[in-house]
Structure 1
Amino acid sequence: MKSIQTKFITLILSCVLLSSLVIGGAGVRIAHTVVDRDSAQIMNLLCSEKASELDGLFSRIEQSVKTLALYTSEQLESLERLKTDPDYMNAYTSQLMSVAVNAADNTEGALAVYVRFNPKFSPPTSGLFWSRTTRNGNFEELTPTDFSTYSPSDTEHVGWYYVPVNNGAATWMDPYYNQNIDVEMVSYVIPIYRDNETVGVVGMDIDFSIIEDVVSGIRVYDSGYAFLVDTQGMVVSHREIPMGTPMGNADKSLIPVVSELENGTTGSSLFSYVWRGQDKELSFRTLRNSMHLAVSAPVSEIDSARNRLILHILTALVLISALSVLLTVIFTRRLVRPLKELNAAAKKIAEGDLSVTISHQTRDEVGTLADSFQKTVDSLQKYITYINGLAYRDPLTGVKNKTAYLEAERLMEERMRTGRPEFAVVVMDINGLKEVNDTCGHDFGDILIIDACKLICRTFKRSPVYRIGGDEFVIILENADLAHYPELLEEFARGMAGCCGGRPGESLSIARGIAIYDSQTDLVFANVFKRADDAMYQNKAAMKARAVSKKEDAAPSSPADGVKPL
């Protein structure tokens, strides 16, 4: 059978666990949603911010080249003169030179600036070309590239001219390595037209390191980084993959990344992929020059905030559950303790023991029940005490009656079976009670019984006194009264001489006999009582004989002590 405390704890713990599962599950789900969304926002915002920074750099470069291109177009008086007049071409080129150099000087990362005319109608080295011979050097005039040396299909050497012309629009060229000054470059070129005919191109070569510095400076989470890829999926700038390497060739796991970059589908969400056995996610943006800026980070680092939040949620739930268990145990103990006490008290009462006291009181319904129970027990005890008084007390004298004597006899026999108690039994009988009742009435007889009982109780004040018949009393002596029984009997004899016997001129007369328990001969309590009763009758006979002799002889006779020799 389960206790109330167990049921309470089971109920409350079930509620706590159910609430924890619901709240914890909702918290974990929210943590997944919110943290994943925040992580995507962090990476997308960072990617957008850095893309805007790079686009701003590209925009400033474009603006410088557009300004030079506009100036070049506006200063051209006639395409025919440019085609036919070498002096005009030289003067026109000289006019453009200072503006071109000034534009390059004021453009961030510019390494070279050039204005080249259409090789179909101009010498193969016509135009201007100013370049820095070192990364931080000054611009110097150099001989332009000789178109006659290279085929128009030679993209590596003259692609900077033919690609924009063929595109018919301003073009960002792919980065390339300049061996002359040991610098990686990227070029922006604008074709110039007049009367639907190509005049030439205006362009600048830009130090690619200023772009790489921005890319390499991008950090996200602990080890996340950024990289650049062109429109064909070729690596432009990467911390681990060399420039010009197709991403799909670097690692087959990157093929989905190339497809994603080509599709340009990233937005608010992140794209998941695997790089060298590590789960990663990336966000990317397409730049003004058609390159793709990608920001990538390990999933473990992206999810670390979510995992910490989930750990905190679970820890909080465990602490709340543990605290709930502790409070439940404390509460149920406080609640059940008085109930247990009530249950134990009820069992004692069922066994006949009314000496119970409810000590734990609470200010609630249980406390009210305990208080009512205690009052009921007290009332029942008083009632039973009253009933016992009626059942075990002699109504005339107030001492214990024969029922109480039989109970005392039973308890003493149990002690005799389990040990060796030391006790004695005194049997007393009032002499002449019948004669007083017959001659003076029962009221005087009752007075005689009461006076005799008072003397007995006064003499044996530390021993129980039982009235087992109309004129017969039994006293069970133990401890001090047993040790001093001779003195008590002498005191009793003196007391009788001073008490009235119920009729004028007569003193109280009570026959008495005593027997001390002997464990060797007395098998039951009745054996001790029998010997005391026999001694009482012998004493009664002796007292009667002395009374008769006293009437016959005028001479006084010596009183007998009425004690049977032991």
Structure 2
Amino acid sequence: MKKSKTFFSSISAKLMMLIIAVTFVLAATLVTVSLVMTSKILTEEAASHMNLFCEERGDDLNTELLRIEDAVTSLSRWAKSKIPDVETISDDSELRDKIVDDAVDLICFMTEDNKFIQGAYIHYSLDITGVTGREEGVYFTRDDNGNFVDIPFTQEEIENDPVADYWYYGPIRNKKALWTKPYFDYSVNDYLISYVEPVYIDDVPVAIIGVDISFSRLLEWVDSLEYHETGYVYLKEGDGSVHYHIDELGHDNLHSDEEDQIIENEELMSQPATGDKLIRYYYEGRDRVMAFVTLRNGMKFVLCDGYDDIYKERALTMILMVSITIGIEFVFAIIATYMASRVTTPLRKLTEAANEISEGDYDVVLPPEDNNEIGELSRALRIAVDNIRARKDEIEATVRAQDRKIEEDAKTMKRQEDDLDIMKNLAYIDPLTKVKSKHAYEDTVKYIDEQIKNGTAEFAVVMCDLNYLKHINDNLGHKAGDEAIKKTAGILCSVFPMSTVFRIGGDEFVVIPSVLEYAKIDEKQELLKKLLVEQHESSDNYLERISIAFGCAVFDRKKDHSFHEVFDRADQIMYEDKRRIHERDGISTER
């Protein structure tokens, strides 16, 4: 009697369901892993993007702050170099006034073009002048038209100034440069932050030099930054005690970190930057995230956005992946049904043969024992696995060999780069005079030409030539000639101590003045002439004194298109000076 069969009693159905179940589990596992990895990647990408925005905009702001720090530091060093000692500067009011007058041009030159700067000043300390009604310094501030104007400010007014503790007493107590916290200055009717450096001589405060930044203009710039559609930017104190928004500046009870309910990465709140992570928090009932970096003045530059807005792309991607997974599962179910029927055909034939035998029909033809589909599939699979394993071992061996070769090549390249850096550094210094070499000069010329193309160049060229070097070598020997070359370099370095001096030939030198010495280029030329006159008067023998012909030319952006045009003018002026010197000394003009 034949037993009735249900769908699930057949081997074909069971195998089909097994394939479908295994396929479903594998697909679900892969999708789950993919969702987790995709979520992680998109989460890291969102965090990276916000942190990159903070770093780039923070760098823009730090650049402006650094320019202000450099300006104040340069003015402080310059002022200190002009003050002989505490007693002299205290007694000599004319010297004090002269230093202030000389500082005016430097203050305007270094600060006037910065849009955030509200004012700049240099004041002598009360320890030097006492409390008097006399102006002992200069204070520039911007008027309503944005121009720098000089505001009278006496020493008596320092004691009565309600914000003097920020810009005067605080830095003096600190004994070093500092950035102040924001404060309201009624004299300009604005909130300011200041970078102030006291000038000390023999542990006595002599002067105070500072630059005021309009904090409201700074916040307006910060508020104007846009991040996606819902992101916003603000500044806060480094300890999070106060958050600064332009529309809340001057209000009582300003927002602080204590009002933020931190959900994730609370430990980052005390760090200088969020790095590659985000801080998640609740504020006013909304789920938000933030990233920040710390600025040079100690404040933090903060970018905030809604949690759902930042991870909107992640949510949409997950929905899409789940939808695709359901579609793939449906397709796999159809494929599994078809494949199950193909795989179970040999088994079905064996079953039919067995049924026929059970009914007494022994003349059945059975499939060959070692030549059926299942056997062929098993052998094919085993061969495939063996081939794959052999190929895998071969690939792994090849990869290991390539990794070793790459590591060895990397070490070789590192040694070559180190050797190249050492050779390049040696090539930048002239071995005889220790000033910069011709190679360094050529690289500097390329850099200045790029500045000319970008419209940011402002420089001068001083071309110098040691006279009579051939005569010295011929009459006193090359050792004496080398000494003359070194003395020439020493004279130029003494006149231009803050500038770069290059030796570009046997007896040829070029000086490219620094920013401070460029502003005083006429004074530097007069000083060089004075030293050369002293050399001329030091000996009647022209071979025993240093004689230098020089010419100076200043870059004119209206007519100069390259460094060499300025150099050629300086070189021509130098040749004219050389002819004059040779005529004076009665010596042939051959170089």
TM value normalised by structure 2: 0.52
Q: Are 1:166 and 2:176 an aligned pair?
A: no
**How far is 1:151 from its partner?**
5.7
Alpha-carbon separation, structure 1, partners of 2:141 and 2:225 = 30
Q: Are 1:133 and 2:133 an aligned pair?
A: no
Q: Which residue of 1 aligns with 2:548?
A: none
Which of 117, 120, 142 matches 2:151? 142
**Distance change (3 Å), C-alpha of 1:242 and 1:17:** farther
Alpha-carbon separation, structure 2, partners of 1:24 and 1:255 = 28
The answer on whether the counterparts of 2:231 and 2:306 sit within 8 Å (CA) in structure 1 is yes
The 3-state SS of whatever aligns with 2:152 is: coil
Matches for 1:274-423 after TM superposition, within 5 Å:
274-331=282-339
Amino acid at match of 1:167: N
Which of 113, 120, 127 matches 1:120? 127
The answer on whether the counterparts of 1:47 and 1:295 sit within 8 Å (CA) in structure 2 is yes
The answer on whether the counterparts of 1:216 and 1:227 sit within 8 Å (CA) in structure 2 is yes
The answer on whether the counterparts of 2:216 and 2:246 sit within 8 Å (CA) in structure 1 is no
Matches for 1:75-224 after TM superposition, within 5 Å:
75-122=82-129, 123=132, 125-134=135-144, 136-144=145-153, 146-148=155-157, 150=159, 154=162, 156-209=163-216, 211-224=218-231
The answer on whether the counterparts of 2:168 and 2:208 sit within 8 Å (CA) in structure 1 is yes
Q: Are 1:12 and 2:22 an aligned pair?
A: no
User: Alpha-carbon deviations, 1:409-464, whole Å to 9, x = none?
Assistant: xxxxxxxxxxxxxxxxxxxxxxxxxxxxxxxxxxxxxxxxxxxxxxxxxxxxxxxx
User: Alpha-carbon deviations, 1:167-194, whole Å to 9, x = none?
Assistant: 1111111223445545433211111111
Amino acid at match of 2:192: M
Q: Are 1:230 and 2:237 an aligned pair?
A: yes
Greater shift in the superposed pair: 29-38 or 323-332:
323-332
Alpha-carbon separation, structure 2, partners of 1:287 and 1:241 = 21
Alpha-carbon separation, structure 1, partners of 2:262 and 2:358 = 85
**Distance change (3 Å), C-alpha of 1:251 and 1:86:** same
The answer on whether the counterparts of 2:273 and 2:294 sit within 8 Å (CA) in structure 1 is no
Amino acid at match of 2:336: T
The answer on whether the counterparts of 1:248 and 1:258 sit within 8 Å (CA) in structure 2 is no
Alpha-carbon separation, structure 1, partners of 2:264 and 2:349 = 74
Q: Which residue of 1 aligns with 2:39?
A: 32
**Distance change (3 Å), C-alpha of 1:179 and 1:5:** farther
**How far is 1:305 from its partner?**
2.8
**Where do 5+ consecutive residues of structure 2 fail to align?**
1-5, 360-371, 375-591
**Distance change (3 Å), C-alpha of 1:47 and 1:317:** same
The answer on whether the counterparts of 1:164 and 1:190 sit within 8 Å (CA) in structure 2 is yes
**How far is 1:59 from its partner?**
0.5
User: Alpha-carbon deviations, 1:309-348, whole Å to 9, x = none?
Assistant: 3223222211110111233345557888999999999999
Q: Which residue of 2 aligns with 1:253?
A: 261
**Distance change (3 Å), C-alpha of 1:63 and 1:38:** same
User: Alpha-carbon deviations, 1:243-280, whole Å to 9, x = none?
Assistant: 67543388353799998544547333322221122222
Q: Which residue of 1 aligns with 2:391?
A: none
Identity %: 23
Give RMSD over aligned pairs. 3.9
Greater shift in the superposed pair: 167-176 or 181-190:
181-190
Alpha-carbon separation, structure 1, partners of 2:156 and 2:330 = 84
Alpha-carbon separation, structure 1, partners of 2:261 and 2:119 = 39
Amino acid at match of 2:45: D
The answer on whether the counterparts of 1:172 and 1:187 sit within 8 Å (CA) in structure 2 is yes
Amino acid at match of 2:82: Q
**Distance change (3 Å), C-alpha of 1:15 and 1:147:** farther
Q: Are 1:65 and 2:75 an aligned pair?
A: no
**Where do 5+ consecutive residues of structure 1 fail to align?**
352-363, 367-566
Alpha-carbon separation, structure 2, partners of 1:151 and 1:231 = 30
**Distance change (3 Å), C-alpha of 1:237 and 1:145:** farther
The 3-state SS of whatever aligns with 2:289 is: strand
Alpha-carbon separation, structure 2, partners of 1:110 and 1:58 = 10
Alpha-carbon separation, structure 2, partners of 1:196 and 1:312 = 70
Alpha-carbon separation, structure 2, partners of 1:282 and 1:146 = 46
The answer on whether the counterparts of 1:150 and 1:158 sit within 8 Å (CA) in structure 2 is no
Amino acid at match of 1:274: Y
Which of 267, 271, 276 matches 1:268? 276
Aligned residues: 355
Higher Rg: 1
Matches for 1:423-438 after TM superposition, within 5 Å:
none
Greater shift in the superposed pair: 192-201 or 236-245:
236-245
User: Alpha-carbon deviations, 1:174-222, whole Å to 9, x = none?
Assistant: 2234455454332111111112110121111123355335522444444
The answer on whether the counterparts of 1:221 and 1:301 sit within 8 Å (CA) in structure 2 is no
**How far is 1:94 from its partner?**
2.1
Alpha-carbon separation, structure 1, partners of 2:102 and 2:13 = 101
**Distance change (3 Å), C-alpha of 1:206 and 1:28:** same
Alpha-carbon separation, structure 1, partners of 2:121 and 2:189 = 19
Alpha-carbon separation, structure 2, partners of 1:162 and 1:299 = 45
Alpha-carbon separation, structure 1, partners of 2:319 and 2:269 = 35
User: Alpha-carbon deviations, 1:528-559, whole Å to 9, x = none?
Assistant: xxxxxxxxxxxxxxxxxxxxxxxxxxxxxxxx
**Distance change (3 Å), C-alpha of 1:322 and 1:239:** farther
The 3-state SS of whatever aligns with 1:283 is: strand
Alpha-carbon separation, structure 2, partners of 1:74 and 1:337 = 101
Alpha-carbon separation, structure 1, partners of 2:106 and 2:63 = 23
**How far is 1:14 from its partner?**
0.2
User: Alpha-carbon deviations, 1:375-405, whole Å to 9, x = none?
Assistant: xxxxxxxxxxxxxxxxxxxxxxxxxxxxxxx
Q: Are 1:56 and 2:66 an aligned pair?
A: no
